[in-house]
Amino acid sequence: GAVVSQHPSWVICKSGTSVKIECRSLDFQATTMFWYRQFPKQSLMLMATSNEGSKATYEQGVEKDKFLINHASLTLSTLTVTSAHPEDSSFYICSARPGQGSDQPQHFGDGTRLSIL
């Protein structure tokens, strides 16, 4: 089945640093990828929609200058948390959707647990 790989799985870093998270579709081309954030005991919340070759669409309340998304190829999207602070600590999850017209469901990476000290 479709596989989405997310890296790294766990990051611990100091406040003020930037962290890049990669999301790759391993066996299909993904024209669209999604980035979610999940706080403890809560459900997944969509942060942004990433379309290959164009700017990401951010959900209301998500700072686009803080959460930089790049979707430069059909198999890779990256999320960079810039100048991270403790309140950015969360579980970040990406999902990928096969190309337009496909009836395949979205598939998810295993998430990245980000801890900012």
Partner 1 sequence: DAKTTQPTSMDCAEGRAANLPCNHSTISGNEYVYWYRQIHSQGPQYIIHGLKNNETNEMASLIITEDRKSSTLILPHATLRDTAVYYCIVRLRNSGYALNFGKGTSLLVTP
Residues that bind partner 1 (CB under 8 A): 1, 4, 6, 32, 34, 36, 43-44, 46, 49, 91, 93-95, 97, 100-103, 105-111, 113
Q: What pairing do the DSSP bridges indicate for beta strands 30-38 and 45-51?
A: antiparallel
Who contacts 51 (Cβ-Cβ below 8 Å, separation ≥6)? Answer: 31, 32, 57, 71
Residue number with CB closer to partner 1 (77 or 95): 95
Q: What is the smallest separation between the CB atom of 40 and partner 1, expressed in angstroms?
A: 11
Residue 87 φ/ψ, nearest 5 degrees? -70, -10
Q: Which H, E and C letters describe 46-68, residue by residue?
A: EEEEEECCCCCEECCCCCCCCEE
Q: What is the smallest separation between the CB atom of 83 and partner 1, expressed in angstroms?
A: 26
Q: What is the smallest separation between the CB atom of 57 and partner 1, expressed in angstroms?
A: 10
Residue number with CB closer to partner 1 (74 or 91): 91
